[in-house]
Structure 1
């Protein structure tokens, strides 16, 4: 019969200082390890007794769980040993791993809680919607990691498309979160790499059209007469400012304060990526800022008049709702502004980023600089705009065919 020991692998501690617990199986001088799906601080572990100390907030519950898993391993080992043809140690590990499979749903809820603690409200809202769909599909059933197979993913993909009416790209974004969680669980040694269904299941993605304004269309927007101090006036200015100021996201623009402006540069930390960026403003962007510069303005005042002065936005949920509401309002107004300016391109505020990128590349700015200003984590994302510019150049050469 295999000997069974519970071990804390301190060398695998994560950034929070928590190390994973394992079952160690030894038979015929061969060793196998099974992750138990639990992490604790080494200070809470009694190495001699192989138990969690009382200093751990859930010591009683964890110790019962560990005792149960050790007993299950010993019992299964004995059962397999008594079979006519004894099962190899790897077979014992496989059988025990199936019994000890982590709940994907529980892991998902822990991920949502971590997003809440980190204040990542945008990501939390998207991930919560994905979790809600999965919960509806499963009903009262749980979903273990070893049940997330290629066949399960194919069934769920059909469900999202046929019954939920989701597009290919919406399905992609849903399953992309599943893939992230599976990869995270592998990194934490909760499951083995062999249990990853995404090694065989490939996500599908359809190409989307990036909407952007030409120089002529952008100038039409800028020259459109609008009542000063109206929301249409402010939303137009905000959009045009973004097209000149590095395609700053609206979530960052709304929070921009005079403290972020040096007189020539805007310096900020992007909310989405956490990356610092410094942008030298061209003349038109400076011209727009002058429209909002008031005598006696404090460095803590918002530049653009959308978030309310004096309102406490330190709570991530409060800030997220304010930004979401202001963004929806801006997108609604932009459609009206474009119509008045006789611009046929259908735009949203995100089109300001696309407009900046295509204009910058057309004017010869190196793609590495464009990527940095946009805050892209990979230059591959920025290369999409380079393809757009190349297509425009190809079309321009068609004049020689006339």
Structure 2
């Protein structure tokens, strides 16, 4: 004999809400089908196994429970009338669908593909986001039919108001969930009817982000800073080399070798997109490089010492070390900014923003595209508009300056 019942599971998510589920019981063994919906314990009527009317969405939630109960009951009736005995887990699979993948199962495949493509930093960040989502819902399985607008809006609110992340970071989480959902649709034929993204549902909109770089006078102070430690001076050198080469990413700066410099030019392949880059070595950059020439004679020796002892052929090891080194460099740069009494953020990525800020309207956008190594000029325009203020400033001044 098999039984089914709507229940409130005693496993709250990180928001303190409890999941609504259907309990399947056979031969004193139980399994649970989750609806993807969560409520406060005070709204659950345990006597009648339904959501209390005091809940603002009680009617919709109770209709959902009835639908799930009906689906489960049909399968259980077939199981009880079948000549072959079936376990509760087999019955659950019959209800959910034997071949259907659930969200976190597909997530593991998606993350595994990132590792195969040697996207180690991306894998690290995306894996952390999936774990945070998993902790929010309070369980390790999530059917795609349960991944609906209500759940995602609740997760977004959790990110913004409980975890206190920025709106852009919250969008990154939703983008990851959408990417995995699309991957599941393509690779595992997940039904499109329940797709929670798009018009009238969850729409991905990027909030404008504030990009503030250092100005010319501030960079000059950084170039001549005194009274700092050797470690802080090295951090400043790495930052300035990045800045002098139009904002080369920190990972690429740390991996620079003496063999990358030929005839007064820098030749290197970008780590992000494997593009080949050639830039003339500015005089200011050459002065810094000259101070690190101790091991220049050694074949393929690194310019900066930070990755010394790292197996450069092991891309995962390099990616992990670069992340740690960057964190340390940023801490040292923050201390330097405090000593200079400059009330602006100073990190390795700010070198790129500072180049954009100082270049402003001075350089044609097509040339900036080459310097930034952007594939699309649209990317350059969108990036540089954060620093191009002359026209708007002049327009404002023309109106109010009377």
Q: TM-score range by the shorter chain?
A: 0.5 to 0.7
Give the alignment of 1:85-124 within 5 angstroms: 100-124=99-123
CA RMSD across the alignment? 3.0
- 1:185-222, CA deviations, whole angstroms, 9 ceiling, x for partnerless residues? 33336235554321231124432211211111111111
Task: State the distance in 2 between where 1:217 and 1:169 align.
Answer: 28
Could you tell me which residue of structure 1 aligns to residue 274 of structure 2? 274
How far apart are residue 396 of structure 1 and its match? Answer: 6.3
How far apart are residue 252 of structure 1 and its match? Answer: 1.0
How far apart are residue 250 of structure 1 and its match? Answer: 0.6
Task: State the distance in 2 between where 1:266 and 1:206 align.
Answer: 36
What is the number of equivalent residue pairs in this alignment? 308
In the alignment, structure 1 residue 214 sits paired with structure 2 residue 212 = no
- 1:105-139, CA deviations, whole angstroms, 9 ceiling, x for partnerless residues? 11101112222233322111111111111221233
Q: Is the 8 A contact 1:211 1:347 kept in 2?
A: no
Could you tell me which residue of structure 2 aligns to residue 376 of structure 1? 374
Structure 2 residues without counterparts, runs of 5 or longer? 1-74, 79-93
Task: State the distance in 2 between where 1:124 and 1:317 align.
Answer: 10
Greater CA drift, 348-357 or 382-391: 382-391
Task: State the distance in 2 between where 1:398 and 1:356 align.
Answer: 25
Q: 1:362 to 1:337 in 2, by over 3 A?
A: farther
Task: State the distance in 2 between where 1:314 and 1:128 align.
Answer: 24
Q: 1:344 to 1:161 in 2, by over 3 A?
A: closer
Greater CA drift, 257-266 or 312-321: 312-321
Q: 1:237 to 1:141 in 2, by over 3 A?
A: closer
In the alignment, structure 1 residue 223 sits paired with structure 2 residue 220 = no
How far apart are residue 373 of structure 1 and its match? Answer: 3.1
How far apart are residue 234 of structure 1 and its match? Answer: 1.4
Could you tell me which residue of structure 2 aligns to residue 233 of structure 1? 233
* 2:213 counterpart SS class: coil
Q: Is the 8 A contact 2:369 2:380 kept in 1?
A: yes
Q: Is the 8 A contact 2:310 2:317 kept in 1?
A: no
Could you tell me which residue of structure 2 aligns to residue 336 of structure 1? 335
Q: Is the 8 A contact 2:196 2:202 kept in 1?
A: yes
- 1:55-86, CA deviations, whole angstroms, 9 ceiling, x for partnerless residues? xxxxxxxxxxxxxxxxxxxxx9xx9xxxxxxx
Task: State the distance in 2 between where 1:275 and 1:356 align.
Answer: 20
Task: State the distance in 2 between where 1:174 and 1:251 align.
Answer: 24
Q: Is the 8 A contact 2:330 2:348 kept in 1?
A: yes
Q: Is the 8 A contact 2:270 2:277 kept in 1?
A: yes
- 1:155-206, CA deviations, whole angstroms, 9 ceiling, x for partnerless residues? 2222333443333222111111111122223333623555432123112443
Query: What's the TM-score, normalizing by structure 1?
Result: 0.68
Q: 1:291 to 1:241 in 2, by over 3 A?
A: same
Structure 1 residues without counterparts, runs of 5 or longer? 1-75, 80-94
- 1:335-380, CA deviations, whole angstroms, 9 ceiling, x for partnerless residues? 222233343322211100111223334332x323323432435434
